[in-house]
Amino acid sequence: MDTSYLLIQTLNGLQYGFLLFLVASGLTLIFGIMGIINLAHGSFFMIGAYLCYWLAEKTGSLWLAILLGVPISVLVGLVVERFGIVFLYKRDHLYQVLLTYGLILIFNELRAILWGNDVQSVKIPAFLAASIPLTETQAYPIYRLFISFVCLLLAAGLYVVIQRTKLGMTIRAGAANREMVQALGLDINRLFAIVFALGAALAAFAGMVNAPVSSVYPGMGEEILIVSFVVVVIGGLGSIKGAFLGAMMIGMADTFGSVLLPTGSGTVVYAVMALVLLWRPQGLFGRAI
């Protein structure tokens, strides 16, 4: 194992981690603040990817596709929140699981009607399509570096919004004590709508930037959903910081797990989760249960 090999594997792990963070951050926010278990979160990831494929095909540009796709996903998020999730705030988790699972089926069916069941791909923009050669056979694709960079920017942006703005303060307050926020006269309904739409948009955006490297296919939402739940549980429900750390841990564990333990690669991620939960049952940054 030489250094360039380790370097590339580390980059692989980080990049996967960043991607997971984008999806998991929305999931953890929605759970932490709204108390909603959103099984349909992976569907937003899938919708983002299909929107990206469809819009890129229509406009001929990945950038335009993302530019148009993000507002559409915000809109989808708002509609889902206003016409579905809103009825669940006072109900227990079982109802939430039922409705959001139903949403998965609905989104899958809509996807089949709108875009069909075929596997699709999105072209990487020409100036990012190259790879950086490291050794004779080893190279690292520039587009993957780009994904990591964008995700890092977004994560930083999210940090600033949550730690430094009034909206962020309200979100944090909402996560800590929902009733108190309401009692102070803040419009909790508006906050919920914003958080849900933001979460949906983050997941959809992750689907979009990732579409050129992941390809676009039915079932991609369910795949990322499960790993994202692992990340959220490791990080502690409702903690953005935790989601970030959890995503990085899982990204690394998955990458190095697949290389060092190829036959057990599927279990490495869950073994990490089990170990973290044994040590801290509430997750890394979760409130004590």
In the complex, the residues that contact other proteins under the rule CB under 8 A are 1-2, 5, 8-9, 12-13, 15-16, 108, 112, 116-121, 123-124, 131, 133, 135-141, 143-144, 213-215, 217-220, 223, 254-256, 258-259, 262-263, 265-266
Closest CB to other proteins among residues 159, 256? 256
For residue 141, the cross-strand partners are 131
The angle at the Cα of 231, spanning 17 to 51, to the nearest 5 degrees, equals 65
- Distance of closest approach, residue 59 Cβ to other proteins, in angstroms: 18
CB-wise, 121 or 282, nearer to other proteins?
Answer: 121
Name the helix (H) or strand (E) containing 280.
Answer: none
> Which residue is listed with tokens 């690292």?
140
Tell me the two tokens of residue 190. 């508006």
- Of the two residues 33 and 103, which places its CB atom closer to other proteins in the complex? 103
Instruction: Decide whether 133 or 281 has the Cβ nearer to other proteins.
Output: 133
- C-beta of 145 vs 173, nearer to other proteins: 145
Shortest Cβ 61–other proteins spacing (Å): 17
Residue recorded with tokens 């809509």: 110
Residue 113 Cβ, how far from other proteins at the closest point, in Å?
Answer: 11
Please list, in sequence order, all residues whose beta carbon lies within 8 angstroms of the beta carbon of residue 37, skipping any fewer than 6 positions away: 31, 93, 96, 97, 100
Q: How far is the CB of 138 from other proteins (least distance, A)?
A: 4
Closest distance between other proteins and the C-beta of residue 224, in Å? 11
- Tell me how far, at minimum, the Cβ of 183 lies from other proteins, in Å: 46
Instruction: Pick between residue 114 and residue 156 the one whose CB is nearest to other proteins.
Output: 114
* Integer angstrom CA distances of residue 263 from 258, 266, 267: 8, 8, 9
Q: Count CB atoms within 10 A of the CB of residue 243.
A: 33
Place of tokens 């507002």: 71
- Answer whether 199's CB lies under 8 Å from 35's CB: no
Smaller CB distance to other proteins: residue 157 or 266?
A: 266
Backbone angles phi, psi at 102, to 5 degrees: -60, -40
Distinct helix (H) and strand (E) counts, the chain:
11, 2
Measured CA to CA, the distance from residue 98 to residue 85 in angstroms comes to 11
Tell the smallest beta-carbon distance from residue 141 to other proteins (Å): 4
